[in-house]
Amino acid sequence: MEDHQRVLIGQMIERIDLYGSGEIPLPKLVDDIRGLFEAASPRGLNIRDSFEEIWADLDAESELRTEPWAPPGLADDAHLREILRRLRSWIEWHGLAPYDP
């Protein structure tokens, strides 16, 4: 992964922190994370697949909290915390690791 891609992916940490401090809502976090990933446009299939798995969980948890079709009580705070932990670990591995051409 190139340096500019790592910078974009690393910016996801800032978005998670903004969500954690209450400065942005969960749907904004979901959109921002997706936008940063798309802007980084990593080519590696394993990178894309591992991101998609985590992001899909995050998006689904957001929908359970925001969509009118979602029955009350299905959202799970512990599950959301685990998704955010996994996402942060993914970012640290892919976005913050030293550049290795």
Residue 68, pLDDT above cutoff 90:
no
| Residues 25, 20: Cα–Cα separation, whole Å | 9
What's the mean pLDDT when you consider all of the chain?
Answer: 90
Residue with tokens 């009350």: 72
Counting every residue written for the chain, the total comes to: 101
Task: Considering only CA atoms, give the Rg of the chain.
Answer: 14
Higher-pLDDT residue of 86 and 10 is 86
- 52-66 average pLDDT score: 95
Q: What is the pLDDT of residue 65?
A: 92
Average pLDDT value for residue range 77-85: 97
| Residue written as token pair 């970012």 | 91
